[in-house]
A = this chain, B = another copy of it.
Amino acid sequence: MKLHVSSDLHYSFQPGTGAVVSVHAATSPDQTVISESLEIDPLPELVFDPADARGERRFRGEFSGDVRIRYEAVVDNGARSLLPSAATRHAWPDLPTEALVFLLPSRYCSSDRFISFAEKTFGTIPEGGAMVQAVLSWLYENIEYAFGISSSDTTAEHTFVERKGVCRDFTHLGITLCRALNIPARAVSAYAMGLEPQDFHAVFEVYLENAWWLVDPTGLVPVENLVRIGVGRDAADIAFLSTTSPCSLIWQTVKVLPAV
């Protein structure tokens, strides 16, 4: 599908605040950036980091005072495939080196503590694809989508206990359960068409049968409505804005529409 995505961030920064901004659509095998534009007002000197292995593109600089950052792009994600139930799980010796780190526990995803639960609940499912689908069904049945329960401190363990959360929490718990099943899983920030209210979305990817497959653990957005931005071990890695000092939101809008 061709999607028109845009984000418009308006923040107030203390003088000389270092900031990393991650709002560009990724240039990855499963999506093509047809056109894009970036406007920053006022414009500081910027460094554009080279795209990482997964096509994530970030830039950084020193910001001061009120700054507005507007990004727009038309993206075609027509090359994206749906995770098939039959996709097989790899044994460790067969995983690519770069997938290994996504098996490790991370700040919000303490997968090492979930091994008993994951094995007992999902361990007898024969294929990796069906295993991940069972994890997604479990999330759908057991976790309620609810605002105001979680914060940026909320871990997969908290969500597993409290049974409520937002996209970030579903993503952390989904990643955690997959890693506990020895399936590499990583967090993805995305533009998402049809999300209410419109905002950046957090989803995740699993590595099965020689490929990364995108899934939305909230079940709110079909994968063809997603445009990938950044990839990381968990949400801490894929913030659209990280800064060296606290900054304050003035306003922010995110929009995703079908591109004509």
Q: Residues of A at under 8 Å CB distance from B?
A: 18-20, 45-47, 49-50, 60-62, 91-93, 97, 100-101, 104-107, 110, 113-114, 116-117, 120, 142, 144, 151, 157-158, 160-164, 182, 236-237, 242, 244
Q: How many angstroms from the CA of A6 to the CA of B163 in the assembled complex?
A: 38
Q: How many angstroms from the CA of A60 to the CA of B242 in the assembled complex?
A: 35
- Tell whether A62 pairs with B49 under 8 Å between CB atoms, given A161-B114, A242-B104: no
> Are the CB atoms of A161 and B104 closer together than 8 Å?
no
In the complex, which of the residues B18, B49, B93 contacts A47, with contact meaning CB atoms closer than 8 Å? B93
- Tell whether A97 pairs with B161 under 8 Å between CB atoms, given A92-B60, A107-B107, A244-B182: no
> Are the CB atoms of A244 and B18 closer together than 8 Å?
no
- Tell whether A160 pairs with B160 under 8 Å between CB atoms, given A47-B93, A104-B236, A244-B92: yes
Q: How many angstroms from the CA of A5 to the CA of B114 in the assembled complex?
A: 36
Closest to A117 in B: B163
Which B residues are CB-close (under 8 A) to A92? Answer: 18-20, 60-62, 244
In the complex, which of the residues B45, B47, B62, B105 contacts A107, with contact meaning CB atoms closer than 8 Å? B105
Closest to A164 in B: B116
Closest beta carbon of chain B to A143's beta carbon, Å = 9
Which of A45, A62, A93, A162 has the most B CB atoms < 10 Å from its CB? Answer: A93
Q: How many angstroms from the CA of A107 to the CA of B108 in the assembled complex?
A: 7
- Tell whether A93 pairs with B161 under 8 Å between CB atoms, given A104-B236, A107-B110, A236-B104: no
> Are the CB atoms of B237 and A101 closer together than 8 Å?
yes
Q: How many angstroms from the CA of A209 to the CA of B117 in the assembled complex?
A: 35
6 A-B residue contacts at CB 8 Å?
Answer: A18-B91, A18-B93, A107-B110, A114-B162, A120-B163, A157-B157
Closest to A109 in B: B107
> Are the CB atoms of A236 and B105 closer together than 8 Å?
yes
> Are the CB atoms of B162 and A20 closer together than 8 Å?
no
Which B residues are CB-close (under 8 A) to A242? Answer: 104
> Are the CB atoms of A162 and B93 closer together than 8 Å?
no
> Are the CB atoms of A117 and B45 closer together than 8 Å?
no
Q: How many angstroms from the CA of A227 to the CA of B214 in the assembled complex?
A: 40
> Are the CB atoms of A117 and B19 closer together than 8 Å?
no
- Tell whether A160 pairs with B163 under 8 Å between CB atoms, given A107-B106, A107-B110, A236-B105: no
